[in-house]
Amino acid sequence: MVDKDFAEINALQKVFPESAILLCWYHVLQAVNRWLSKSESGVHGLSNTQKRNEIISFFCKLKACTSEDDFKATSAEFCQTFKQYPLV
């Protein structure tokens, strides 16, 4: 399990090519929160606090999926729910 250190990821892929690289959930949420706080996201600022919380909740739902089909269905629901925010 790694954070978003691309050098570390590349090294692990070279040494352990058959291994899956897992990202640290804390760092994933941190990156999502950073992105959502930027003006480019379309959901920054106090007026969009609830929307950002909904997006984070969906990420938690995605993480909790127990099958690929469940993940695909939840992803489709996410895309439908937030289609008015294409950069999210």
Element of type H or E holding 50: helix 49-64
What pLDDT, in 10s, does the model give residues 16-51?
Answer: 999 999 999 999 999 999 999 999 998 999 999 999
The pTM assigned to this predicted structure is 0.77
Segment 37-46, tens digit of pLDDT: 999 998 999 9
SS3 2: strand
Task: Decide: 56 and 81 in contact? Cβ < 8 Å.
Answer: no
